[in-house]
Amino acid sequence: MKPGTSKALLAAAVIAMSGSALANDNDGQDKRACSIPGATVNAVQSQLAHVATMNNGGIFSPSRMWSAVVDRQGVLCSVIRLGDAWPGSRAIAIAKANTANGFSNDHLALSTANLYAPTQPGGPLYGLNNSNPFNPDFLPQGTGLGRVPGGVITFGGGVPLYSGGKVIGGLGLSGDSACADHAIAYRMRRLANMGLDKVPGGVAPDGTDNIIYANGTPTGYQHPHCGSSDVTP
The pTM assigned to this predicted structure is 0.89
CATH class of the 5-191 domain in this structure: alpha beta
Let me know: does 142 contact 14? Beta carbons within 8 Å. Answer: no
Mean confidence (pLDDT) of the chain: 91
Q: What is the mean pLDDT of residues 31-37?
A: 97
Give the helix ranges, DSSP H, for the chain. 5-24, 38-45, 48-51, 89-102, 178-191
Among 145, 150, 172, 147, residue whose Cα is nearest residue 161: 172
DSSP 8-state code for residue 137: G
Q: What percent of the chain has pLDDT over 90?
A: 86
pLDDT, position 144: 96
Cβ neighbours of residue 89 closer than 8 Å, sequence gap 6 or more: 65, 66, 174, 175
Model confidence at 28, pLDDT cuts 50, 70, 90, reads low
pLDDT, position 30: 82
Burial of 136 (0-12, 13-18, 19+ CB in 10 A): exposed
Residues in the chain: 233
Among 85, 64, 17, residue whose Cα is nearest residue 184: 64
Q: What is the mean pLDDT of residues 199-213?
A: 98
Q: Is the pLDDT of residue 25 over 70?
A: no
pLDDT, position 129: 96
Instruction: Domain ranges for the chain, please list them.
Output: 5-191
Model confidence at 39, pLDDT cuts 50, 70, 90, reads very high
Tens digit of each residue's pLDDT (9 = 90 or more) over 156-192? 999 999 999 999 999 999 999 999 999 999 999 999 9
Cβ neighbours of residue 26 closer than 8 Å, sequence gap 6 or more: none
Model confidence at 19, pLDDT cuts 50, 70, 90, reads very low
Q: What is the mean pLDDT of residues 121-134?
A: 97
